Amino acid sequence: MTHRVTLIPGDGIGPEITAATIHVLEATGIRFSWDQQAAGAEGMERRGEPLPDPAIESIRSTGVALKGPLATPVGPGHRSVNVALRMEFDLFANLRPVKTIIPGRCYEDIDLVMVRENTEGLYVGVEHFVAIGDDPRAVAESTAVVTRLGCERIVRYAFEYALEHGRKLVTLVHKANILKMASGLFLEAGRAVAREYEGRIGFNDRIVDNAAMQLVLHPQQFDVIVTTNMFGDILSDEMAGLVGGLGLAPGANIGPKTAIFEAVHGTAPDIAGRGLANPAAMMLSASLMLDYLDEHEAAERVQDAVIRSIRDDDVLTHDLGGEATTSEFADHVAKMVRG
Ligand code: NAI
């Protein structure tokens, strides 16, 4: 079987880490038909828009995309393509697993998964200024939009993920003591869903500030964390920090019919084009994609090869204190994947 996948190499280090990742995916022996599309700065250059229609149509038709990072201007300029893709394809679940790869750092044996709601909450962009006197921006108001259906589907996704991946506990993170409605509804809907899984998957909840502290003090008490958009955004970076930073943090954005896989990091313009980029996070994202495509054995092989290259064989890119170039790392991982 050949898997049709949309490929967006992206900007900055995107093309380098994408080439490295394709090299590893092809070493699995699985057949892919890549539909390569431009977006971000490359989309602007080639087609005058950051998210050209052919890229959207391709993702709609394949249902799966592997994506490099895209440059988003700060302040004025085009809207984030990543947010636009989330909305276009209703990519409601943002999945970010973090796992200890390099031993001897602050924490050992970390193996956590963040399931973040990706389309609601404070990030819906419902905000405005209120003028007072001659100050047009005297007050800023932002509205969090939280729906019962949105809460139920993300919590159900977390439980189904836990069941499928042999996880034991789902922790719902909220701030229902203060945000009695926006966070209260999330907790209420989440508790109702949790009852459906009683006896199969454990469930508890934590207030977000306590969760942030507990992640630093005793991260091993968590397994799968499910939370709303902004808390998930912040806590998932904290979790990436527990295992050595962005170079090792993969991600997936999953919707009812579509999924887009990408590393958590950005375009790293400071090192682009120099063979210094660490492609591990994108390779681990590709492993999540293999899992989604039901290629579980290959997913495991890619993940193992990345981990063993770093942990056992000491093949380290510059960000991890080594000398290996992007393509040297890819060659090593590909060789291990071939076995
Ligand atoms: P960044 O993640 O690109 O870089 C932060 C630091 O981490 C830099 O020093 C960079 O060299 C380093 N770094 C990141 N990935 C690395 C890798 N794979 N190997 C080695 N070092 C790595 O974040 P920054 O600088 O805030 O953003 C740069 C651009 O990326 C912006 O235009 C931003 O909008 C975009 N961005 C895109 C994302 C996406 O498309 N998913 C996500 C985050 C940022």
Residue 109 has pLDDT above 90, yes or no: no
CA distance 244 to 233: 17
pLDDT of residue 78: 60
Which residues partner with 132 through β-bridges? 135
Confidence of residue 294 (pLDDT cuts 50, 70, 90): very high
What is the arithmetic mean of pLDDT over 285-292? 97
Q: Which residue has the tokens 């405005």?
A: 128
pLDDT in tens, 70-101: 987 665 556 678 888 998 999 999 999 999 88
Residue 281, helix vs strand vs coil? helix
- The answer to whether the CB of 70 is under 6 A from ligand 1 is yes
What is the arithmetic mean of pLDDT over 306-323? 93
- The answer to whether the CB of 50 is under 6 A from ligand 1 is no
* Amino acid in position 248: L
Residues that are catalytic: 123, 175, 209, 233
pLDDT of residue 75: 55
Torsion of CA 238, 88, 92, 61, to 10 degrees: -110
Beta-sheet pairing, 169-174 with 224-227 = parallel
Pinpoint the alpha helices (H) of 293-325.
Answer: 296-311
**In 11-146, beta strands by DSSP E:** 31-36, 64-67, 93-99, 111-117, 121-132, 135-145
Tell me what the pLDDT averaged over the chain comes to. 94
Q: Which residue has the tokens 């109702």?
A: 192
pLDDT of residue 73: 66
pLDDT of residue 262: 96
Distance (Å) from CA 156 to ligand 1 centroid: 31
Confidence of residue 263 (pLDDT cuts 50, 70, 90): very high
Which residues partner with 99 through β-bridges? 111
pLDDT in tens, 169-186: 999 999 999 999 999 999
* Percent of residues, the chain, with pLDDT higher than 90: 83
Nearest CA to ligand 1 atom 15: 265
Q: Is the pTM of this model over 0.85?
A: yes
pLDDT of residue 79: 66
Nearest CA to ligand 1 atom 24: 266
Nearest CA to ligand 1 atom 26: 266
Nearest alpha-carbon partner for 314 in 328, 303, 300, 298: 328
Residue 326 in contact with residue 317, Cβ under 8 Å? Answer: yes
DSSP state of 101: -
Domains in the chain with CATH codes? 1-98+246-339 (3.40.718.10), 117-242 (3.40.718.10)
